[in-house]
Amino acid sequence: MEIYAAFVAYRKHGGLKELLFAQPLDSYYMALPGAVQQLGEGIESTLQRALEQHSLAAKDATHIGTISGHTPDGRAQITHLFAGELAAEAPSRSARTQLTWMDKTRARLHHAFMPAGLVDTTLPYLEAEGHW
């Protein structure tokens, strides 16, 4: 089983709520900025490492939910979702990742490039809970 920490960063842009998505430079998949928990690592430490890997800094990240699902290759996955404000504007690119803000309409156009669990479970959860 894989345990994942994901950061839900959102902003208002042009009257629409946008989420920040990350796409590793060596992959065609887009997801929420995050990382897989390493052996012996606490989930908050995993989140902090993920933010650093994406060149992001957050203010007051709060745990907003836990989602069960599967990785793109079929392994069981638990995703801990955290939300908070970014301490600074997100860069468009980090050393490993392309970062993109998307509203719901634009995100739907990119569903083919997102893991099924994100599309089928996580994004609907965020919408139902009022985070998107």
- Residue-range domains of the chain with CATH: 2-128 (3.90.79.10)
Q: Does residue 60 have a pLDDT over 90?
A: no
Quick check: 59 and 84 in contact, CB under 8 A?
yes
Distance between terminal CA atoms of the chain?
28
How do residues 85-102 score in pLDDT, each as one tens digit? Answer: 898 888 877 778 899 999
Question: Coil, helix or strand for 114?
Answer: coil
What is the predicted pLDDT for the residue at 81? 98
pLDDT in tens, 12-40: 888 999 999 999 888 888 999 999 999 99
pTM over 0.85: yes
